[in-house]
Amino acid sequence: MIDSFTKMTMKKYYIVDVRTPQEFMSGHVAGSINIPINEIEARIHELENKKDLVLCCASGARSEQVTRYLKSKGIACENGGPWMRVNLLINNN
């Protein structure tokens, strides 16, 4: 997870929330985009050229799955864990 990153660097990350659209609509990191886990394979082209990619979800489990998948496809990314934690890191900067 992103424990090693400083709050200062969090502002530069491209954040992808892999929860369902319903979950995303109930709250999310400002500026993040929603690509549900079941759409990642079909929408991978949207992530291929992104730098500083951080994935998040409700608990960190789905974002870990997606992180492993994207890394296996050669896409550099990090699992940010729960979206509320990522949000806290960004807003406490």
| pLDDT recorded at residue 9 | 53
Q: pLDDT, tens digit, for every residue of 49-88?
A: 998 899 999 999 999 999 999 999 999 999 999 999 999 9
* Distance (Å, whole) CA 81 – CA 57: 6
Q: How many domains does the chain have?
A: 1
Query: Could you tell me if residue 61 is inside a domain?
Result: yes
Q: pLDDT, tens digit, for every residue of 9-24?
A: 555 789 999 999 999 9
Sole residue written with tokens 């990314």 = 77
Query: Could you tell me if residue 56 is inside a domain?
Result: yes
pTM attached to this predicted model: 0.88
Query: Could you tell me if residue 6 is inside a domain?
Result: no
The H-assigned helical ranges of the chain are: 7-10, 21-25, 40-43, 61-72, 83-91
Retrieve residue 66's tokens: 């997606």
Segments forming the whole domain that contains residue 85: 49-93
Q: If pLDDT is split at 50, 70 and 90, which confidence band does 8 have?
A: very low
Query: Could you tell me if residue 92 is inside a domain?
Result: yes
Let me know: does 67 contact 55? Beta carbons within 8 Å. yes
Let me know: does 56 contact 32? Beta carbons within 8 Å. yes
Query: Could you tell me if residue 41 is inside a domain?
Result: no
Query: Could you tell me if residue 2 is inside a domain?
Result: no
Q: pLDDT, tens digit, for every residue of 44-55?
A: 999 999 988 999
